[in-house]
Structure 1
Amino acid sequence: MRELRRIGWWGTLLAALMAALSATPAAFANPYEKQLANGLRVIVKEDHRAPTAVHMVWYRAGSMDETNGTTGVAHLLEHMMFKGTPSIGAGEFSRLVAAAGGRDNAFTSKDFTAYFQQVPKQKLEQMIQLEADRMRHLNLDPKEFEQEIKVVMEERRLRTDDQPQARLFEQMGAVAFQAHPYRVPVIGWMNDLEAMTVQDARDWYERWYEPNNAFVVIVGDVDHDDVFRLAEKYYGPLAARPLPARKPQVEPTQTGTRRLTVKAPAELPVVVMAYKVPVVRDVEKDVDPYALEMLAAILDGHDAARFSRRLVREQRLAVSAGTGYDATSRGPGLFYLLGSPSEGKTPAELENGFRTEIARIVADGVSTEELARARAQLVANQTYKLDSMFAQAMEIGQLETSGVPYTANKRLIEKLQEVTAEQVQAAAKKYFVDDQLTVAELDPQPLPDTPRRRPAATRH
Structure 2
Amino acid sequence: MIKKSFSILGLLLLGAISQAQEIKFQEYDLPNGLHVILHQDNKAPVVTTSVMYHVGAKDEIENRTGFAHFFEHLLFEGTPNIKRGEWMKIVGANGGTNNANTTDDRTYYYETFPSNNLQLGLWMEAERLRHPVINQIGVDTQNKVVKEEKRLRVDNQPYGNIMTAIKEGLFKKHPYKNTTIGKVADLDSAKLEEFLTFFKKYYIPNNATLVVAGDIDINKTKEWISDYFSTIPKGAPIVRNFPKEDPITQETVMTYYDPNIQLPAYLYTYRTPGDKTRDAKVLDMVSSYLSNGKSSVLYKKLVDQEKKALAVQAVNIGEEDYSVFAFFAIPMGATTEGTLRADIDAEILKLQTDLISEEDYQKLQNQFENQFVNSNSSIEGIASSLANYHVLQGDTNLINKEIEIYRGITREDIRDAAKKYLNSNQRVIINYLPEKK
Assess same fold via TM > 0.5.
yes
Instruction: Name the count of aligned residue pairs.
Output: 419
- Written as runs of structure 1 = structure 2, the 5 A alignment for 1:11-90 is 20-21=19-20, 24=21, 27-28=22-23, 30-90=24-84
* Equivalent of 1:372 in 359, 362, 381: 362
- Written as runs of structure 1 = structure 2, the 5 A alignment for 1:171-210 is 171-210=165-204
| Residues 109-118 or 253-262, more deviating | 253-262
Matched, 1:253 2:247: yes
**1:382: Cα distance to partner?**
0.5
2:134 alignment partner AA: L
Report if the CA contact (8 A) 2:209-2:391 is conserved.
no
Matched, 1:410 2:403: no
1:304 alignment partner AA: S
The CA deviation string for residues 148-190 of structure 1, in whole angstroms up to 9 with x for no partner, is 2122123222222222422132122022100011111111122
Partner of 1:242, secondary structure, is coil
**1:445: Cα distance to partner?**
4.6
Distance in 1 between the 2:188 and 2:165 partners? 20
**1:205: Cα distance to partner?**
0.6
- Written as runs of structure 1 = structure 2, the 5 A alignment for 1:417-432 is 417-432=407-422
Cα distance change, pair 290–73 in 1 and its aligned pair in 2 (3 A): closer
Q: Which residue of 1 aligns with 2:287?
A: 296
Q: Which residue of 2 aligns with 1:7?
A: none
Q: Which residue of 1 aligns with 2:147?
A: 153
Q: Which residue of 1 aligns with 2:430?
A: 440
**1:128: Cα distance to partner?**
0.6
Report the aligned-residue RMSD: 1.8
2:255 alignment partner AA: T
The CA deviation string for residues 374-430 of structure 1, in whole angstroms up to 9 with x for no partner, is 011001110122221111112122222223312123332112111111111111011
- Written as runs of structure 1 = structure 2, the 5 A alignment for 1:271-420 is 271-281=266-276, 286=278, 288-327=279-318, 329-420=319-410
Report if the CA contact (8 A) 1:386-1:392 is conserved.
yes
2:254 alignment partner AA: L
Distance in 2 between the 1:252 and 1:190 partners? 29
Distance in 1 between the 2:329 and 2:303 partners? 10
| Residues 425-434 or 300-309, more deviating | 300-309
The CA deviation string for residues 185-204 of structure 1, in whole angstroms up to 9 with x for no partner, is 11112221221222221111
Distance in 2 between the 1:294 and 1:213 partners? 32
Report if the CA contact (8 A) 2:175-2:242 is conserved.
no
Report if the CA contact (8 A) 1:70-1:196 is conserved.
yes
**1:337: Cα distance to partner?**
1.3
Report if the CA contact (8 A) 2:171-2:245 is conserved.
yes
Matched, 1:112 2:106: yes
Q: Which residue of 1 aligns with 2:262?
A: 267
Q: Which runs of 5+ in 1 are unaligned?
A: 1-18, 448-460
Partner of 1:166, secondary structure, is coil
Distance in 1 between the 2:132 and 2:140 partners? 16
Report if the CA contact (8 A) 1:62-1:108 is conserved.
yes
Distance in 1 between the 2:19 and 2:132 partners? 44
| Residues 149-158 or 169-178, more deviating | 149-158
Distance in 2 between the 1:415 and 1:108 partners? 27
Matched, 1:123 2:123: no
Distance in 2 between the 1:316 and 1:251 partners? 38
| Residues 60-69 or 263-272, more deviating | 263-272
Distance in 1 between the 2:242 and 2:70 partners? 25
Partner of 2:159, secondary structure, is helix
Report if the CA contact (8 A) 1:340-1:347 is conserved.
no
Instruction: Determine what percentage of the aligned residue pairs are the same residue.
Output: 27
Q: Which residue of 2 aligns with 1:162?
A: 156
Partner of 2:312, secondary structure, is strand
Distance in 2 between the 1:161 and 1:112 partners? 23
Runs of 4+ in 1 over 6 A off after TM superposition: none
Partner of 2:338, secondary structure, is helix
Distance in 2 between the 1:364 and 1:173 partners? 31
What is the TM-score when the length of structure 1 is the normalising length?
A: 0.87
Distance in 1 between the 2:191 and 2:120 partners? 32
Q: Which residue of 2 aligns with 1:452?
A: none
Distance in 2 between the 1:139 and 1:92 partners? 13
1:58 alignment partner AA: M
**1:20: Cα distance to partner?**
4.5
Cα distance change, pair 160–280 in 1 and its aligned pair in 2 (3 A): closer
Report if the CA contact (8 A) 1:172-1:260 is conserved.
no
Report if the CA contact (8 A) 1:31-1:43 is conserved.
yes
What is the TM-score when the length of structure 2 is the normalising length?
A: 0.91
Distance in 1 between the 2:71 and 2:337 partners? 40
Q: Which residue of 1 aligns with 2:212?
A: 218
Report if the CA contact (8 A) 1:168-1:440 is conserved.
no
Partner of 1:335, secondary structure, is strand
| Residues 125-134 or 410-419, more deviating | 410-419
**1:48: Cα distance to partner?**
2.2
